[in-house]
Chain A
């Protein structure tokens, strides 16, 4: 099932810069400089960004830093809002 899609607004290629590699729970994943971690995770098909204390799945709601539902661990720093964090080559992201 196609859930998310990186759009090329003019139908053509080449709007995004050369890709970098980030690691999501250890797995290499393609991302583009300028993208947020939330975007890269959504584009990679992640429905679950984190799991609550009661075991429920959560994912981004507001995409502007208010809801904290998209929080993941970025380079060892837990509770980082993925919608407010830009990807960088080699970044390590852990979903819970």
Chain B
């Protein structure tokens, strides 16, 4: 890594999930010189995370919900044309006007480098929606994705008795995985009411092309039922209890608007509480690059604005997958391929440039994939306002800087003129810690919205600056001669 200063690529891809891999392979097939950067140690992103190569694979290998996943990983592992940089963090995008290229700041352990590219694809995925409720900072409270990846890729079960609370279908798959691993699953609680027949019938629109995934979810639900695991609807997390670690969860029944029904609190004993209320798009790098964003809470919060070929508002920067709207692996993969085709229209050698018909075909497939993701979105959209109301007085809103809900609300009471989340950040220090607001921005925005009566999309978002994740000073010091 240390010797890669001033390397030149046609396309730089950040993220090796379905979107990034789809783009990298498509672009390499068109003769483009491609580099891929990903923080994980192997391809696949979160959705296709695999056990390490040093582990023997269990019989039949890990099951993938998407049939194309296995082939995608095989092709990625085999492709030697592409420069793969795993265990590497991309922390900033810059423009070099002299060389007319984009420069991507990357860091691996204590080594830093700048990669030059004519085009950049941001395919940074999404992460579990953090929910601030009393006790959420206790060891033993984990995100659904966190538990799933420990089981899937590390064969580790992080507890023995589990309660799962949320509103995302991922919860069903995680509960099923836990049962298979021999865990005790005390209950799975969905905040939304049990789906009505009419909704289920409309859901069938989603089935063509997605039968495998629908069957997997149905199989998971059936397995839970067979094991006598209570699957509750209209029930939500209220608090986690425990001194040094979780020892239980308080659940509460809610109405259609996720408002708690008085007198319905129940305590459930558990050593691990799994939270899965949805996903937030990971847009920090895109925003740092200057890409315009729009607020769409059911698509992952602030998401990057794109045109019909995945171009962002910034020249030379394309965005594929969840940062442009959470829609699942299949949609992300297609968007990555579409972005690569669009990039190849100008950067590939004349004989290797794709025709309009090739782009049309991918765009048709994207419209089809939307039918599925839109149904999932409608069914399982998180109620952000209701979730933000869970934070009571001493509940920490910002885990890193240990700022409580009372401190934020008190500041808002005393400063009624404040109308943007950046001001809350500056005054209260929410979002100034290690995670840089990834875990608190959406909660403070909801609290600000409640205080001002203004919708969240009028309150702005944190300014994203380089480095978008903490990097060591040592790795930055090596960049003195190349970064101005």
Assess the B127–A57 pair: CB atoms within 8 A. no
Tell me how far the C-beta of B471 lies from the nearest C-beta in chain A, rounded to whole angstroms.
Answer: 10
Establish whether residues A4 and B157, one from each chain, have CB atoms under 8 Å apart when the complex forms: yes
With a cutoff of 8 Å between Cβ atoms, the chain B residues found around residue A33 in the complex are 52, 54
Given A34-B55, A39-B150, A62-B146, are A53 and B402 neighbors across the interface (CB < 8 Å)?
A: yes
Q: Which of B137-145, B358-366, B452-460 contacts A (4 or more CB under 8 A)?
A: B137-145
Binds A, one of B335-343, B348-356, B434-442: B434-442
Q: Which residues of A contact B157 (CB under 8 A)?
A: 4-5, 7
Question: Which residue of the partner chain, among A47, A54, A66, contacts B139 with CB atoms under 8 Å?
Answer: A47
Chain A residues, Cβ within 8 Å of B146: 60-64
Docked complex Cα distance between A29 and B469 (Å): 30
Closest chain B residue, CB of each to CB of A18: B54
Task: Please tell me if the beta carbons of A14 and B56 are within 8 angstroms of each other in the complex.
Answer: yes
**A42 CB contacts on chain B under 8 angstroms:** 150, 156, 158
Task: Write out the residue numbers on chain B whose beta carbons fall within 8 Å of the beta carbon of A16.
Answer: 54-56, 155
Q: CB within 8 Å of B: which residues of A?
A: 1-10, 14-17, 32-36, 39, 42-43, 47-49, 52-54, 56-69, 71, 77, 79, 84, 86
Q: Is the CB of A3 within 8 A of B155?
A: no
Chain B minimum-CB-distance residue to A35: B154
Given A6-B156, A7-B181, A34-B53, do A61 and B141 touch, yes or no (CB 8 Å)? Answer: yes
Q: Are B438 and A66 in contact (CB under 8 A)?
A: yes
Q: Is B128 an interface residue (CB 8 A)?
A: yes
Closest to B154 in A: A39
A16 CA to B154 CA, complexed, in Å: 10
Given contacts A5-B156, A42-B156, A61-B142, contact A66 B435 (CB under 8 A): yes
Known A-B contacts A47-B140, A57-B139, A86-B41; A5 and B434 likewise in contact (beta carbons under 8 Å): no
- A66 surroundings in chain B (CB, below 8 A): 127, 282, 435, 438-439
Cβ A5 vs Cβ B160 within 8 A: yes
Residues of A within 8 A of B159 (CB): 3-4
Tell whether A68 pairs with B435 under 8 Å between CB atoms, given A61-B146, A63-B146.
yes
Q: For A35, what are the chain B residues with a Cβ–Cβ distance below 8 Å?
A: 52, 154
Task: Find chain B residues with CB under 8 A from A54 CB.
Answer: 402
B399: interface (CB < 8 Å): yes
Contacts of B452-484 to chain A: CB distance below 8 A: 469-470, 472
Q: B143, B434, B439: which contacts A79 (Cβ < 8 A)? A: B434
- State the Cβ distance, B464 to closest chain A Cβ, in Å: 14
Q: How far apart are the CA atoms of A4 and B160 in the complex, in Å?
A: 6
Minimum C-beta distance from A92 to chain B (A): 16
Question: Does B82 have its Cβ within 8 Å of any Cβ on chain A?
Answer: no
B17 to chain A, nearest CB (A): 11
CB contact under 8 A between A8 and B127, given known A57-B245, A64-B146: no
Give complex CA distance A39, B55 in Å: 14
Among B53, B128, B156, residue most surrounded by chain A Cβ atoms (within 10 Å) = B156
Q: In the assembly, what is the distance between CA of A15 and CA of B52, in Å?
A: 11
Complex interface: chain B residues within 8 A of A67 (CB) = 130, 143, 399, 435, 438-439
Q: Does B46 contact A (CB under 8 A)?
A: yes
Does chain A have a CB within 8 A of B187?
Answer: no
Considering only CB atoms, which chain A residue lies closest to B146 in the complex? A63
Query: How near does chain B come to A26, taking the closest CB pair, in angstroms?
Result: 21
Q: How far is the CA of A67 from the CA of B182 in the complex (A)?
A: 28
Rounded to whole Å, the gap between the CB of A88 and the closest CB of chain B is 12
Q: Inside 8 A of A77's CB, which chain B residues have their CB?
A: 110, 472
A75 to B212: give the CA distance in the assembly, Å.
Answer: 45
Q: How far is the CA of A90 from the CA of B272 in the complex (A)?
A: 30
**Chain B residues whose C-beta falls within 8 Å of the C-beta of A59 in the assembled complex:** 139-140, 245
Known: A15-B56, A16-B55. A65 touches B156 (CB 8 A): no
A11 to chain B, nearest CB (A): 10
Complex Cα–Cα for A32 and B154 (A): 10
A interface footprint on B174-201 (CB within 8 Å = 1, 0 otherwise): 0000000110000000000000000000
Q: How far is the CB of A13 from chain B (nearest CB, A)?
A: 10
Q: With the chains together, A49 CA to B154 CA distance in Å?
A: 18
B156's partner among A4, A48, A84 (CB-CB below 8 A) is A4
Shortest CB distance B128–A (Å): 6
Q: Which of B42-76 contact A (CB under 8 A)?
A: 46, 51-56, 58-59
Q: 28 A-B residue contacts at CB 8 Å?
A: A1-B160, A7-B182, A8-B155, A9-B58, A34-B54, A34-B55, A36-B154, A39-B156, A42-B156, A47-B139, A47-B244, A47-B245, A48-B244, A54-B402, A56-B137, A59-B140, A61-B141, A62-B145, A64-B127, A65-B469, A66-B127, A66-B435, A67-B399, A67-B439, A68-B470, A79-B434, A84-B39, A86-B52
